[in-house]
Amino acid sequence: MQHPRTSATAPAPRTRPTRRAGRLATLAAAVTAVVGLTTLGGPAAHGADNPYERGPAPTESSIEALRGPYAVAETSVSRLAVSGFGGGTIYYPTSTADGTFGAVAVSPGYTGTQSSIAWLGPRLASQGFVVFTIDTLTTLDQPDSRGNQLLAALDYLTGSSSVRNRIDSSRLGVMGHSMGGGGSLEAAKTRPSLQAAIPLTPWNLDKTWSEIKTPTLIFGADGDTIAPVATHSEPFYATLPSSLDRAYLELNAATHFTPNTSNTTIAKYSVSWLKRFIDNDTRYEQFLCPLPRPSLTIEEYRGNCPHTS
């Protein structure tokens, strides 16, 4: 803080301002007002309009990077310390300078453990989310059970976990692979307040999802023989309400197990979807609309543009 300067010089006698001086003062005030309005319309005001924005403006390279702008720490949660799911690992940004973050729970698939989806933890957390990769009660749990376990994990995360004060409990999402992907659909159906759902090569005996109100991005794989897209991902997407913000990305030259290893296409569009709908960050709309075109890694992409949520 600067202290006012003092002077030994006696103050000059006050004089009555002239009309010219008055006009100059008025002009200066007007210029100041214009500058103030311009400042309000700049980047700082955009952040004020959306208090959930986190991190610098995104680029193609930043959302494809192995790590985002945030340093990440992790903490293990024993299955003995929780109820309703099998424990897991929480990945979270170490900085608290930006306030709270949205959070995502991620379920593995049938016979899988959290190690099969662990790569998503630090990759998503480094972009500005708290991510909970969970173990299920048993590796054989079905999608409806996995959906309930994802919700129990979110409740633990926001209610009693060691990082609960870092999380905005109104901004939550779910992800999952295979039966865990089917579980993420179940969780979104059960809890419409969720802000985003991302099923990864999902499997579920239920083929219709007209009840879902959560913005949903479904990843299918063109070479999936366990949950073929024709009988799983495609009808799941097609039965989501047409009024919903929804998308279907079919991975090219991929299998049912592609989501189990680090994958730039999955990460890129998952980050964009979570940012757009959990953080309401329209800076990421550019990566989702216009719809991505087929490429070496994308067989096809369907969805609605522009998004309305």
Cβ atoms within 10 A of the Cβ of 137, count? 18
User: How far apart are alpha carbons 217 and 115 in whole angstroms?
Assistant: 23
Given the residues 256, 272, 279, 281, the one annotated as active site: 256
* Catalytic hit among 135, 224, 279, 281: 224
- The packing angle between helices 143-159 and 179-190, to 10°, is 60
Q: Which residues have a Cβ under 8 Å from the Cβ of 36 and sit 6 or more positions away?
A: none
**224 in catalytic set:** yes
Phi then psi for residue 248, to 5 deg, are -130, 120
Rounded to the nearest 10°, the torsion over CA 53, 57, 61, 63 is: 10
Q: 178, 184, 233, 272: which one is catalytic?
A: 178
Is residue 304 a contact partner of residue 246, using CB atoms and an 8 Å limit?
yes
Q: Which two tokens stand for residue 207?
A: 């083929």
What is d(CA 135, CA 291) in angstroms, rounded to the nearest whole number?
Answer: 34
3 labelled catalytic: no
- Asked if 221 contacts 253 with a C-beta cutoff of 8 angstroms, the reply is no
Determine whether 178 is an active site residue.
Answer: yes
User: What residue type is assigned to position 169 of the chain?
Assistant: S
In whole angstroms, give the CA distance from residue 205 to residue 179.
Answer: 10
Query: In Å, what is the CA distance from 14 to each residue of 4, 10, 11, 17, 27?
Result: 21, 12, 9, 9, 22
182: left (phi over 0), alpha (psi -120 to 50) or beta: alpha
Give the CA radius of gyration of the chain: 25
The 3-state DSSP class for residue 189 equals helix
Annotated catalytic sites, by residue? Answer: 178, 224, 256
